[in-house]
Amino acid sequence: MLVVKAAGAEIRQEWCDHFAGLLPDLAARSFDAPDIRDEEVTYALVWEPDPGWLARFPKLRAIFSLGAGVEHITADPTWPRHVPLVRMGSEETGQRMGEYVAWACLSLLRDARDFALAQAERRWDYKVGDATAQDVQVGIMGMGRLGGAAVPMLRGLGFPVAGWSRSPKVVEGAICFAGPEELDAFLAETRILVCLLPATPETERIVDAALLAKLPRGAAVVNAGRGSNLVTADLIAALDSGHLSGAVLDVFDREPLPAENPLWSHPKVTVTPHVASIARRRERARFVAGAIRDFEAGRPLPNLYHPDRGY
Ligand code: NDP
Ligand code: OXD
């Protein structure tokens, strides 16, 4: 049996309906269905499971995260660590993140925030920036599955692209940097910094005043990784001093972003409500069903969480 823990009864039903079509031999149930017997549960698809809940199922074979981030599961000290944990890896997650990053970079390049403010005041704010995409290197911090998906889209728009990751890699169309020792070289040429890092102890508050100071003057920041990657006060200070020219933010320490947060009204900040890459449920269900089919046939699970790396 596959149990689904997601917000909203209708949404859980939709997940179960997708699985009924995709995996007809596996019963799929909402986590609150009355007929679930704990020892029958072999798979769980979850977002923010209550602490202790996953540990109830003695025959659990794999846990699937509804999202690419898994800190909503690993924050539970009792989550069953011996059970493989699969991060969401649908193709559409990459497509949508690529679209968001491309949109954010173009918005920053073409002063979209300024024009939105001017329009709200019916003000003809005639100005044409000097740079084209070809002059603006985008640096992706976290050149993983989603960062990699953004590369061809950015390249197609003309942006030179660089990436920074934990381990060295080769990505077509991008200059690749890795590890703390290559971070400064990566930052020095980055005109738009795109953060797509997971939430781990190592990445917590990594984008702080010291890091921002290493970007060229006039650079901009996009954060679609996690709110914990960024020191918001340091970002605001760098925007106010003129060191940074703008920011597009999708993820925050507290979500929904509280109404009193200064980011909402900052003239150089565009806020989106954690929507950068929410793939359709049908597409995510396809990914999970394919992974379960492979696993049952003795093939490895994709996109596994590694406890030693923390993501
Ligand atoms: P991946 O695991 O594929 O990529 C993570 C990348 O971060 C990898 O390149 C990894 O390096 C790098 N990384 C991790 N830790 C460090 C470190 N300490 N120093 C340098 N690089 C590091 O994950 P995804 O691309 O699938 O997802 C990334 C994150 O995006 C998710 O964890 C989630 O937080 C966020 N996300 C946000 C969404 C939104 O809607 N806003 C939607 C989906 C995801 P290496 O390649 O060497 O492993
Ligand atoms: C995710 C997210 O982790 O939506 O997939 O942020």
Note the pLDDT tens digit of each residue in 142-162.
Answer: 999 999 999 999 999 999 999
Percent of the chain's residues with pLDDT above 90:
100
Domain count, the chain: 2
The verdict on the CB of residue 279 being under 6 Å from ligand 2 is no
State whether 50 and 145 are in the same domain. Answer: no
Q: Band of the pLDDT at 190, cuts 50, 70, 90?
A: very high
145 lies in a domain?
yes
pLDDT band at 133 (very low <50, low <70, confident <90, very high): very high
Active site residue 306: no
Tell whether ligand 2 has an atom less than 6 A from the beta carbon of residue 88.
yes
Amino acid residing at 169: K
pLDDT for 195? 99
Residue 61: is it exposed, middle or buried by C-beta count within 10 angstroms (0-12/13-18/19+)? Answer: middle
User: Mind spelling out the 3-state secondary structure of 72-114?
Assistant: HHHCCCCCCCCCCEECCCCHHHHHHHHHHHHHHHHHHHCCHHH
Residue bearing the CA closest to ligand 2, atom 5: 67
Which pLDDT belongs to residue 131?
A: 98
What is the average per-residue pLDDT within 206-229?
98
Atom of ligand 2 nearest to the CA of 88: 5
**pLDDT tens by residue, 4-20:** 999 999 999 999 999 99
Same domain, 205 and 131: yes
3 lines ligand 1 (CB under 6 A): no
The whole-number pLDDT of residue 89 equals 95
CA of 225 to the centre of ligand 2 (A): 8
Identify the pLDDT of residue 163.
98
Q: Is the CB of 68 under 6 A from ligand 2?
A: yes
What is the pLDDT at residue 15? Answer: 98
CA–CA gap between residue 28 and residue 35 (Å, rounded) = 11
Which residue, by CA, sits nearest to atom 35 of ligand 1?
A: 225
Is residue 296 classed as helix, strand or coil in its secondary structure?
helix
Q: Give yes or no: 274 in active site.
A: yes
pLDDT (tens digit, 9 = 90+) per residue, 63-121? 999 999 999 999 999 999 999 999 999 999 999 999 999 999 999 999 999 999 999 99
- List 56, 155, 274, 281, catalytic entry: 274
What digits encode the pLDDT tens for the residues 27-44?
A: 999 999 998 999 999 999
Is residue 214 within 6 Å of ligand 1 at its C-beta? no
For Cα atoms 222, 175, 187, give the angle at the middle one, nearest 5 degrees: 45
CA 67 to ligand 2 center in whole angstroms: 4
Same-domain pairing of 145 and 265: yes
302 falls within a domain = no
| Residues 230, 238: Cα–Cα separation, whole Å | 13
DSSP characters for 145-187?
HHHHHHHHHHHHHT--EEEEESS----TTEEEEESGGGHHHHH
The band of 49, judged by pLDDT with boundaries at 50, 70 and 90, is: very high
Ligand at minimal distance from the CA of 310 is: 1
pLDDT reported for residue 260: 98
User: Which ligand has the nearest atom to the CA of 311?
Assistant: 1
Task: Answer whether residue 56 is part of any domain.
Answer: yes
What would the mean pLDDT of 178-206 be, rounded to a whole number? 98
Ligand 1 centre to CA of 284 (Å) is: 18
Nearest to 102 by CA among 131, 144, 140, 142: 140
> What is the pLDDT confidence band of residue 196, given thresholds at 50, 70 and 90?
very high
Task: Assess whether 212 and 137 both reside in one domain.
Answer: yes
Active-site residue, from 113, 226, 266, 286: 226
- 155 and 84 housed in the same domain: no
CA–centroid distance, 224 to ligand 1, in Å, is: 10
**What is the span of the domain harbouring residue 137?**
93-271
Q: Which of 88, 74, 69 is nearest to 224 (CA)?
A: 69
243, 231: one domain = yes
Specify whether 71 is located in the same domain as 203.
no
Would residue 308 count as lying in a domain? no
Q: Are residues 258 and 159 in the same domain?
A: yes
Whether 61 is covered by a domain: the verdict is: yes
Same domain, 260 and 139: yes
What's the whole-number mean pLDDT along residues 196-219? 98
Is 224 among the domain residues? yes
Claim to verify: residue 66 and residue 199 sit in the same structural domain: no
Residue 306 belongs to some domain of the structure: no
CATH of residue 81's domain is 3.40.50.720
In a domain, 218, yes or no: yes
* Whether residue 116 is found in the same domain as residue 232: yes
Total length of the chain? 311
174-178 vs 192-195, strand pairing mode: unpaired
Compute the mean pLDDT over every residue in the chain, rounded to the nearest whole number.
98
Indicate whether 156 and 239 sit together in one domain. yes
Say if ligand 1 is within 6 A of residue 255 CB. Answer: no
Query: Cβ(89) to ligand 2 under 6 A?
Result: no
